[in-house]
Amino acid sequence: MITFSIDGREVQSPENLMLVDAAKYGDVEIPVFCYEPKLGNPVGACRMCLVEIEGIPKLQTGCSTPVKDGMVVHTQNTRVHEAQEAVVEFLLINHPLDCPVCDKGGECPLQDISFGWGGGRSRFIEPKRHFQKPLELSPLIAIDRERCILCYRCVRYSQEVAEDYQLVLQERGAASYVATFDGHPYVAPFSGNIIELCPVGALTSRPYRFRARPWDIEGSGSVCTMCPGQCNVTFTVRDDRVLRVLQRDNAEVDDGWLCDRGRFAYQAIHVDERVTSPMVRGQDGQLVPVSWDRALSEAAAGLTAAGSAVGALAGSGTTNEEGFLVQRIVREALGSRDLDSQRAPVSRDALLAISDPALQATVPDLEFAHAVLVLDTEPVDDMAILDLRIRKGVRRNHVKLAIASARPSSLDANAAASVRFAPGAGPAFAAELVSAAKGEPSSDDARSIVALLREAGEDVVILASERVGVALAALADALGLRDRAGAGLLVVPSSANGRGLREVGFLPDAGPGLSPVAEPGRHAGQIAEAAATGDITALWLLGIDPLRDLPYRLRWEQALSRAATVIAHTNFLTEGIRDHATVVFPAEAYAEKDGTLTHPDGRLQRVRPAIGHSGAGRYGWQVLTDLGTRVGLHVPRVLTSGIALAQLAQAVPFYAGITQDEIGGRGIRWQERPAASAFPAPAPASVNVSPAPRVGPSAPASGLRLGTFRSIWASPEVEHSPALAFLRPRQKIEMAPSDADRLGLGDGQRVLVSNNGTQVSATVALRQAIPAGSVFLQDGLAEDSANVLTGSIVEVRRA
C-alpha cells in the first residue's frame, strides 16, 4: 500500500493501480468512458478522466497513470472541471440526446457523466448529424450511429477479447464509424457482450428493445445452466418475466463475459412451446395436460410396475439435489442399478483418478499457467466461456497453447502447436502423450506436444473432454502436476452439471460421493440395449432426450418405443419425448430453479429463482420428493431446497456440511474446504494406461472417417428463442478440398452421408484445415443429426 493525496486528502491504495481505480479508495470517482480493464491496456481515447497531478504540467488521463507514493492529485479544481466540461461538450456535439426513446436511458454512463461532470449547456448550434436508426448490426444487436461516442470499447472487444476481428472502426477522424466488412452481420459466439460494454445507447439488444425502463426492472443473480461453463448471470426481471440476461462478473468462473446462447436463450423461458403443466399420453396417443396428482400417480405406477427394470438418465441443467433424489429413488425405492449421466461411459476408477483434488486446476489457472493443453475438446462448443479465457491467457500472459484434437479448433490460430488425430482417437492419443511424457517410445506429434509443455514451464493445465478418461490422470502425473497449485486437470463433462451429477452418485458404478457400489448397473448405452430388448421397461429422463443428446439414435428409438413407461422432466417436447413419453413433468426453466450445481473445477454454485414458475410448474426437488414418497422412498420430507442440499451434503462426504450460505453468490470449490480430505483415494492399480495403437488422421482404405461434434447452437433453447432461431444449426459436412475433389463435390452441395444402412443428408462445407480422409458432422440436431449414423467410416455421395 502507498499513500497519495487526492483532492487534499491522504488516501491509501495499492501501488501502480491506475488512478481511476486508486481514487475509489478515497471515495473519489473519476469519470471514464473508454477505460475498461477487461479489454486490456488503457487506450486513453475518450479523455474524460483528465486529472491534474502536481509536478506534471499537462493534465493526465487517470485511466493510464499508475498511482505512486506521494502523488498529489486534483480532480476537483477549476482546471480539471473545465477540461471535463469540455470533453462532455465535445462528446455531446453530435449525440442526439434522444434519451426519452433510448433503451439505455436511466442506466447510461453518458447520461450520468453529462449530469455529474458536464457544463449543462452546449454552444454547438450547427445541425447535428441525422442518420437512419436504428440499423441492424446483427439479428441480435441494433446499432445507432448517432449516439455513438467512438469510445472504441466494442471494437476493442471484438479484436482483443473475442478476437473475431469482425467489428471494426472504418474511415477516419470525425467520419469514423463502427461497422463490419462489406455489410456482413456481426455474428459470433460472444457478440452480445458489446451491448453491455457500450457506455451509450449505440449498441442495444434487439430482443430487449423497448421492453422496460431501468426503474421497471429488478435484477436477480443466478447461474446459467446451459453448458458446463456455468457463467454467473443477472436476470433482468419485469413483472415476473425474464427480459434480459446480463453478466455477473465472477473472475473464478466467467471473467464477466457471456456467450450469446447464455445471453439470449432466456427467451425460451417465455414461449408457448414450453411445457408448463404435467401431461400424460391419452388413449389417442396424444399427450394431454393433466393434474399433478394424476401425473404423479401415473408415473409412480409406471415406476413401481417396472421396479428394478427402471433405467434413469440425467443431463443438461439437472441440479445436484434433483440428481441425488432420483438416484435414491432408483436405488433405494425401486432397487434398480441402471442410471447414468454420461454420454460415454467413464468408469468409477477413472473418475476417481481424474477428479482427485490433488490434480485439479481452476478456471483462472488457464490464464496464468505456463502452458495449456486442450485435448479432444472444442472449448467454444463444449464450455464456451473458456474460449475467451484461453485467448486472454495467450494474449496477455503469453501462455503457450497446445491443441490436440480431431477437428480443427477455433483456437488453432492462437496455439503454439496443433496436432490432429483421427476422430475418436482422443484416449489413444492421450496414452501416447503419457508414453512421451515418461520418455517411452511414442509418436512425433505426442513428443512435440510434451516437449512444448515442458519447455513452457511447470504449470501446465490440461483442458480435456471427460471421454479421454483415465489417461488424463496418468498424463498429469507424468508431467508432475500433482499437488501443484495453478496446474492440473480441467475436465469438461458431457452435460452442464455433469460433474455434480456424478459426484451425487448418478452413475451406474458409483453412489453418492463416488462411493463404490456392490454391483455396477448399466451405463447409458447398455440401458438403451436393455430397453430395446425389453429387459428395462421404464425409462426416466431428467433434462435429456436420448434421441438428441446420446449416440445410437436408432437404438434409442427402439428403446423408447418398447418401454412401457417413459417419464420425462422437460421444458420442450423434443422428438423423443413428444413421440414416446408416457408422463411428462414440466421441468423448470433455469430462472425458476432453486438448487446447486458443481462446476467442472469443483465449484459449487447456487441457482436461485428469479421468477415464479410458469403455468403449473413446481420445484424439481418438490416433484421428486412427492414421486419418491409415492414409490415408497422413506426419507425425511424435503420442504426447502436447503433441506435437499443438507441431505445431499450428508451423503457426499467431500461436500460435508456445505450450506447455501457458504456457497453464497460466488460459489465455493469443495476442494478448498476441509471436507475435501474425505475424497476417496483412487485405487492405484486401476490407473492402468495401455497405449492403444493410435489411429492417425490419415485417410482410411475406403470411405471417410466420421467425426462428430455438437455446436454451441445445438440446443432446444436456441431453437425456441425467437431471437436465436437464425443460429439453429443445419447439418453440414465439413470436408477437406482434396476429398471433395476426389468425390466430385463442391462447396454448398447437398450430399447423403451413409453407413450400415443409415444415412443423413447434409450440405458440403469445404475447409482447408480438415485433415484429408476425415469428415465432420454435427450432433444434437433435430433432423439429420449425426447420431443417426452408427459406424466410424461413412460414404458420401451427391444427393
Partner 1 sequence: MNKLLFKDIDEPGLNTIDVYRRRGGYEQLRRALSMPREAVLNELLASGLRGRGGAGFAMGKKISFLPKGALDIYLCCNADESEPGTFKDRELMQKNPHMLIEGIIIAAYAAGANKSFIYIRGEYVLQADILDAAVLEAERAGFLGENILGSDHRLSLVVHRGAGAYICGEETALLDSLEGKRGNPRLKPPFPANQGLYQGPTLINNVETLATVPAIMGMGGDAYAKLGTETSTGTKLVSVSGHVKRPGNYEIELGVSSREIIYGLAGGPPEGRSVKLWFPGGSSSPVLTGDDLDLAYDFDTMAKAGSMLGSGAIIVVDDQTSVVDVAYKTAYFYRHESCGKCTPCREGTNWTVKMLERMKAGEATPMDLDIIASVCDNIIGHCLCVLGDAMAMPVGSMVAKFRDEFEEYIEARRQESYLGTADPEPELALIQGAVA
Partner 2 sequence: MAEVRRFEHGSRVPGWDASVDLRKDPAGVPDPATTPVPAELRAEIEAQMAKYPDFRSAALPALAAVQRHHGWCSPEGIEQAACVMRLTPGYLTAVATFYDMFDTVPTGRNRVYVCTNISCSLRGADELCHRIEQLTADDADIQVKHFECLGACDIAPMVSVNGIYVGPVELDEVDELIDDVRNDRDPLPRKQLRLRPSADTLPMGDGQ
Binding residues for partner 2 (CB under 8 A): 126-132, 135-139, 145, 159, 164-172, 175, 177, 179-188, 413, 726, 736-737, 747, 766-769
For position 105 contacting partner 1 by CB under 8 A, the verdict is no
State which residue, 75 or 721, has the beta carbon closest to partner 2. 721
**Nearest distance, CB of residue 768 and partner 2, angstroms:** 4
Under a CB-based contact definition with an 8 Å cutoff, are residues 641 and 587 in contact? no
- Amino acid letter at 155? V
186 binding partner (options partner 2, partner 1, none; Cβ < 5 to 8 Å by kind) = partner 2
**Nearest distance, CB of residue 183 and partner 1, angstroms:** 20
Q: Which residues in the 120-139 window bind partner 1 by CB under 8 A?
A: 123-124, 126-127, 129
737 binding partner (options partner 2, partner 1, none; Cβ < 5 to 8 Å by kind) = partner 2
179 binding partner (options partner 2, partner 1, none; Cβ < 5 to 8 Å by kind) = partner 2
Stretch that binds partner 1, among 35-43, 288-296, 529-537, 708-716 (CB under 8 A): 35-43
149 binding partner (options partner 1, partner 2, none; Cβ < 5 to 8 Å by kind) = partner 1
State which residue, 82 or 662, has the beta carbon closest to partner 1. 82
Binding mask 65-104 for partner 1 (x = CB under 8 A): -----------------xx--xx-xxx-xx----------
Stretch that binds partner 1, among 97-105, 172-180, 652-660, 778-786 (CB under 8 A): 172-180
**Nearest distance, CB of residue 674 and partner 1, angstroms:** 45
State which residue, 156 or 720, has the beta carbon closest to partner 1. 156
**Nearest distance, CB of residue 736 and partner 2, angstroms:** 8
86 binding partner (options partner 2, partner 1, none; Cβ < 5 to 8 Å by kind) = partner 1
Residue from 26, 31, 42, 199 binding partner 1 (CB under 8 A): 42
Under a CB-based contact definition with an 8 Å cutoff, are residues 798 and 750 in contact? yes
Grid cell digits, residue 781: 440436431
Residue from 2, 45, 246, 616 binding partner 1 (CB under 8 A): 45
Phi then psi dihedrals of residue 265, to 5 deg:
-75, 0
**Nearest distance, CB of residue 90 and partner 1, angstroms:** 4
46 binding partner (options partner 1, partner 2, none; Cβ < 5 to 8 Å by kind) = partner 1
CA 24-29-30 angle, to 5 degrees, is 110
**Nearest distance, CB of residue 455 and partner 1, angstroms:** 19
In terms of DSSP bridges, do strands 218-223 and 232-238 run parallel, antiparallel, or are they unpaired?
A: antiparallel
Taking alpha carbons only, the member of 414, 455, 380, 28 closest to residue 229 is 380
Residue from 2, 17, 43, 564 binding partner 1 (CB under 8 A): 43
184 binding partner (options partner 2, partner 1, none; Cβ < 5 to 8 Å by kind) = partner 2
For position 46 contacting partner 1 by CB under 8 A, the verdict is yes
254: left (phi over 0), alpha (psi -120 to 50) or beta: alpha
State which residue, 56 or 683, has the beta carbon closest to partner 1. 56
State which residue, 90 or 368, has the beta carbon closest to partner 1. 90
Exposure pattern of 212-222 as b/e (b: 16+ CB <10 Å)? Answer: beeeebeebbb
CA 566-710-705 angle, to 5 degrees, is 110
Phi then psi dihedrals of residue 437, to 5 deg:
-65, -30
* Residue 75, C-beta contacts closer than 8 angstroms, at least 6 positions apart: 6, 7, 23, 28, 30, 51, 52, 62
How far CA 707 is from CA of 421, 602, 732, in Å, comes to 11, 30, 12
Q: Please give the Cα distance from 668 to 663 (Å, whole number).
A: 5
Specify the length of the chain in residues. Answer: 799
State which residue, 126 or 182, has the beta carbon closest to partner 1. 126
Under a CB-based contact definition with an 8 Å cutoff, are residues 255 and 564 in contact? no
Residue from 13, 61, 377, 598 binding partner 1 (CB under 8 A): 61
115 binding partner (options partner 1, partner 2, none; Cβ < 5 to 8 Å by kind) = none
Residue from 2, 7, 40, 64 binding partner 1 (CB under 8 A): 64
Grid cell digits, residue 594: 432453486
SS (H, E, C) 661-702: HHHCCCCEEHHHCHHHHHCCCCCHHHCCCCCCCCCCCCCCCC
Under a CB-based contact definition with an 8 Å cutoff, are residues 760 and 788 in contact? yes
69: left (phi over 0), alpha (psi -120 to 50) or beta: beta
In terms of DSSP bridges, do strands 774-778 and 732-735 run parallel, antiparallel, or are they unpaired?
A: antiparallel
42 binding partner (options partner 1, partner 2, none; Cβ < 5 to 8 Å by kind) = partner 1
For position 145 contacting partner 1 by CB under 8 A, the verdict is no
State which residue, 93 or 344, has the beta carbon closest to partner 1. 93
State which residue, 381 or 477, has the beta carbon closest to partner 2. 381
Q: Please give the Cα distance from 489 to 358 (Å, whole number).
A: 9
State whether residue 516 is helix, strand or coil. Answer: strand
* Residue 312, C-beta contacts closer than 8 angstroms, at least 6 positions apart: 326, 327, 330, 336, 338, 339, 340, 506, 539, 540, 541, 542
123 binding partner (options partner 2, partner 1, none; Cβ < 5 to 8 Å by kind) = partner 1
Stretch that binds partner 1, among 110-118, 165-173, 321-329, 462-470 (CB under 8 A): 165-173
* Residue 607, C-beta contacts closer than 8 angstroms, at least 6 positions apart: 222, 223, 225, 317, 319, 590, 593, 594, 595, 596, 597
Q: Please give the Cα distance from 470 to 450 (Å, whole number).
A: 18
**Nearest distance, CB of residue 185 and partner 1, angstroms:** 22
164 binding partner (options partner 1, partner 2, none; Cβ < 5 to 8 Å by kind) = partner 2
187 binding partner (options partner 2, partner 1, none; Cβ < 5 to 8 Å by kind) = partner 2
How far CA 115 is from CA of 36, 44, 96, 108, 609, in Å, comes to 21, 22, 16, 11, 36
Exposure pattern of 147-156 as b/e (b: 16+ CB <10 Å)? Answer: bbbbbbbbbb
Under a CB-based contact definition with an 8 Å cutoff, are residues 759 and 788 in contact? yes
**Nearest distance, CB of residue 148 and partner 2, angstroms:** 10
State which residue, 139 or 680, has the beta carbon closest to partner 2. 139
Q: Please give the Cα distance from 226 to 130 (Å, whole number).
A: 41
107 binding partner (options partner 2, partner 1, none; Cβ < 5 to 8 Å by kind) = none
**Nearest distance, CB of residue 428 and partner 1, angstroms:** 40
Instruction: Give me the residues that bind partner 1 (CB under 8 A), please.
Output: 41-48, 50, 58-59, 61, 64, 82-83, 86-87, 89-91, 93-94, 123-124, 126-127, 129, 149-150, 152, 169, 171-176
